Amino acid sequence: MANRVVVLGAGFGGLELATVLSEALGDDVAVTLIDKNDAFVFGYSKLDVMFGRTSMDAVRLPYRDIAKPGVRFLQETITSIDPEARVVVTDDGVHEADYLVVALGADYDLGATPGLAEGGNEFYSTAGAERLAGLLPGFTEGRALVGVCGAPFKCPPAPSEAALLLHDDLVTRGVREDCEITFVIPFGSPVPPSQETSRALVAAFAERNIEFVPGRRVSSLDPERRVAVLDDGSKLPYDLFLGVPKHRAPDVVIACGMTEDGYVPVSSRTLETRFPGVYAVGDVATVGVPKAGVFAEGAARVVAASLVARLRNVGPPDAYDGLGSCYIEFGAGRVGRVDVDFLSGPKPTGTYHEPSIALAEEKHEFGSSRGARWFGR
């Protein structure tokens, strides 16, 4: 039976895919789940680490805890992918697949923003978030700039959250009066699919005296003079830069010829690539939805359902719906939520839920339920 499923990347997409396949098929499937890291970290945990609310050790979910019928995890680095032959080479071997799922996420391209690597700080990687956790307590006066260096980027609300949580951090340390916060984002509003959510965030910035600069991207930094240059040539001085780097598909995906305009094109209904038996889910793919874990997870469920249908010889499942809910930290322990629908209508829509302690608890439950499902915690 053609049942060898090789899943590249054990992030939101890969973990959900392996879990659903194991639940549905058990030992009737042979899933090989490959990741170069030894642990998974939720994207939003990076904000918690950066603001000293937890440590990286406390939020790491080690892959060695995965114990699922039909699934084996391998910690290996993928060095080449042949999508026609469905053969993957890693630093430790060669894997042949009947079905191949690329779920390798998006990487950061620090080199695309001159000066960022030398003179800025990014908070999108685990290393960047940990470095900022060490630096932030020493920032007691001056200009902080939260700046996005390119779109698309993961979790569109995350830089807004960073600006609001920075405000809280400075208030708690008693230095807010001595600091300025500016926030630069390439979109015209903080969360474009939901005007209501965007209005609430813009109001929250105004209440906290955070200067909001929409429709602009940070194109370079001058680390010596501590000046950020925006894409219209205007300049913003800073003492502390908190950046979202430009994203791109991992090099190994670009090198294998699967990408167009930087990412892997797929059918937005089935997540199939143009290569038979090869799917792509999550941030690495162009689906028409934002780069966020909830969308990677939803897409993975559709791929899992079609693989189950193929292996069980039944009809195809429903198409991917492009629905997802994103939690937004507003500070002071309160979390809002936006429920977005990207694919069902002519344009994306979003429904806003005001920040509350109850939604903060719901966000906590979102994380712990994934910890339980994926890692048996």
Ligand X SMILES: Cc1cc2nc3c(=O)[nH]c(=O)nc-3n(C[C@H](O)[C@H](O)[C@H](O)COP(=O)(O)OP(=O)(O)OC[C@H]3O[C@@H](n4cnc5c(N)ncnc54)[C@H](O)[C@@H]3O)c2cc1C
Interacting residues toward ligand X by CB under 6 A: 9-14, 34-37, 43-44, 46-47, 77-78, 103-105, 124, 154-155, 158, 250, 252, 282-284, 291-294, 296, 326-327
Torsion angle (degrees, nearest 10) of CA 25, 28, 30, 35: 20
Nearer to ligand X, 124 or 205 (CB): 124
CB of 235 to ligand X, least distance (A): 26
CB of 174 to ligand X, least distance (A): 26
Nearer to ligand X, 150 or 226 (CB): 150
CB of 365 to ligand X, least distance (A): 13
CB of 267 to ligand X, least distance (A): 17
Q: Which helix (H) or strand (E) holds 72?
A: strand 71-75
Nearer to ligand X, 229 or 323 (CB): 323
Q: Which of 65, 108, 88, 68 lies closest to 7 in space, CA to CA?
A: 88
Nearer to ligand X, 226 or 342 (CB): 342
Q: Which of 235, 232, 198 lies closest to 215 in space, CA to CA?
A: 232
Listed in sequence order, the residues at least 6 apart from 291 whose beta carbon sits closer than 8 Å to its beta carbon are: 106, 152, 153, 154, 155, 247, 282, 283
Q: Pairing relation of β-strands 227-230 and 235-237? A: antiparallel
CB of 160 to ligand X, least distance (A): 11
How far is residue 355's CA from residue 32's CA, in Å, rounded to a whole number?
40
Q: State the residue for tokens 């040539």.
A: 233
Nearer to ligand X, 226 or 298 (CB): 298
For residue 152 the two structure tokens come to 């698309």
- Cross-strand pairs, 334: 331
For residue 126 the two structure tokens come to 């685990």
Phi, psi of 174 (to 5 degrees): 75, 25
How far is residue 337's CA from residue 161's CA, in Å, rounded to a whole number?
12
Nearer to ligand X, 246 or 291 (CB): 291
How far is residue 12's CA from residue 302's CA, in Å, rounded to a whole number?
14
CB of 376 to ligand X, least distance (A): 18
